[in-house]
């Protein structure tokens, strides 16, 4: 796989010009040039707005300065103030990634890729768990905190929690790597990967640049999260191609009808998550899953054999049964199990039965 990564980079195309400009195979050089035209022709936020994306990608540069006589005032306005928590996270992530790319350019990451552990089959693990138990395969989340709930677990040992999840029957693990808002880290991801845990690992990060995909794989990730509320179609299209090149599974997350329809229009998507949390207000409503999987969308999902994942707001066996009835084959759960004194037993409480092997 690593040899393939190196060989398939078109000559003269460097994957450090932003997410949309990375060519993933020799046939996509022309496409990459078209992408550059797209980038030059329209501002990112204008393109995003045409697709119903409300999260702006405008990093905060500091409120403008106003002078009144000898006094200097800094006033916030709609253009430089995040409108919700997700937008704030994304603005900060843009800045964070820009600095990381300067310190660790893609050439250095390519060398790290050669030493990365083999990729594990994320979707295969979910399907196998679903067939074994008759219940949705569990992606158990290793998460210390969240912006909406604060600190979820004070005595936080990521490896201990991961091992407890695996023992309790988790098919895969999701590891938060955002430090500022979720108290996570890539160190936690590496520690879990090197601990002997066999579950495939999802790097739970706010992806805004394709550089992050290479970085996540170099740290041992088997899957990454792509959020449709943040990424325009073209970014999702190219990032999923890069994921396939690297062997990563892309979990593409949606939370309303328009996002779902956009993602269904993108070729090659195999794993879609429905987030029951409103990403702007952080309010929960698990009926979102049922609503989005009704009718034609549910039919398309079944025809394409796409694995659906229910996310957020799942606390009881009744919640699990509800989203399973709606059509999900997997669930991603963090808060309701990580807060338990024994996270492994928390899984049994969540499903209403022991699902360990």
- Of the candidates 21, 28, 311, 348, the residue annotated as catalytic is 311
User: Is 144 tagged catalytic?
Assistant: no
Cβ atoms within 10 Å of 145's Cβ, excluding its own: 18
- Of the candidates 21, 28, 146, 312, the residue annotated as catalytic is 312
User: Is 253 tagged catalytic?
Assistant: yes
- Of the candidates 19, 146, 275, 276, the residue annotated as catalytic is 275
Q: Which residues have C-beta within 8 Å of that of residue 274, sequence separation ≥ 6?
A: 253, 254, 255, 260, 288, 289, 292, 293, 308, 309, 310, 311, 328
User: Is 198 tagged catalytic?
Assistant: no
User: Is 290 tagged catalytic?
Assistant: no
User: Is 204 tagged catalytic?
Assistant: yes
Q: Which two tokens stand for residue 155?
A: 């005595």
User: Is 131 tagged catalytic?
Assistant: no
- Of the candidates 9, 204, 219, 237, the residue annotated as catalytic is 204
Give the three-class secondary structure for 141.
Answer: strand
Q: Of 277, 237, 228, 239, give the one whose Cα is nearest residue 53.
A: 228
- Of the candidates 237, 253, 290, 348, the residue annotated as catalytic is 253
User: Is 312 tagged catalytic?
Assistant: yes
- Of the candidates 93, 143, 219, 329, the residue annotated as catalytic is 143
Burial of 78 from C-beta contacts in 10 A (0-12 / 13-18 / 19+)? exposed
Angle at 294 between CA 292 and CA 297, to 5 degrees: 70
- Of the candidates 87, 141, 190, 259, the residue annotated as catalytic is 141
Active site members: 141, 143, 204, 253, 275, 311-312
């Amino acid at each position: 796989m690593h040899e393939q990564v190196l060989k398939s980079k078109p000559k003269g195309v460097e994957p450090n010009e932003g997410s949309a400009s990375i060519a993933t195979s020799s046939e996509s050089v022309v496409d990459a040039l078209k992408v550059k035209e797209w980038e030059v022709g329209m501002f990112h936020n204008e393109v995003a707005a045409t697709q119903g994306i409300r999260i702006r990608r405008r990093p905060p540069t500091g409120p403008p300065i106003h002078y009144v006589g000898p006094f200097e005032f800094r006033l916030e306005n709609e253009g430089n103030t995040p409108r919700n928590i997700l937008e704030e996270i994304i603005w900060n992530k843009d800045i964070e990634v820009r600095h990381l790319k300067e310190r660790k350019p893609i050439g250095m990451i390519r060398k790290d890729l050669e030493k990365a552990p083999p990729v594990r089959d994320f979707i295969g693990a979910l399907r196998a768990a679903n067939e074994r138990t008759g219940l949705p395969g569990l992606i158990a989340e290793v998460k210390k905190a969240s912006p909406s709930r604060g600190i979820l677990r004070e005595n936080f040992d990521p490896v201990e929690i991961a091992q407890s999840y695996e023992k309790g029957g988790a098919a895969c693990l999701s590891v938060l790597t955002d430090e500022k808002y979720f108290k996570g880290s890539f160190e936690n991801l590496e520690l879990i990967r090197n601990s002997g845990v066999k579950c495939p690992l999802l790097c739970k990060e706010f992806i805004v640049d394709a550089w992050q995909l290479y970085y996540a794989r170099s740290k041992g990730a088997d899957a990454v999260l792509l959020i449709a509320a943040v990424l325009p179609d073209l970014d999702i299209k190219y990032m999923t191609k890069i994921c396939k090149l690297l062997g990563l599974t892309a979990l593409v997350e949606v939370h309303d009808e328009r996002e779902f329809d956009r993602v269904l229009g993108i070729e090659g998507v195999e794993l879609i998550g429905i987030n029951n949390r409103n990403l702007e207000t952080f309010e929960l409503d698990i009926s979102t899953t049922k609503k989005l999987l009704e009718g034609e969308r549910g039919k398309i999902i079944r025809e394409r054999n796409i694995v659906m994942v229910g996310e957020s707001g799942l606390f009881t066996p009744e919640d699990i049964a509800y989203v399973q009835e709606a059509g999900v084959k997997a669930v991603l759960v963090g808060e309701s199990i990580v807060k338990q004194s024994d996270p492994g037993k928390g899984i049994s409480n969540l499903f209403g039965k022991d699902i360990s092997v």
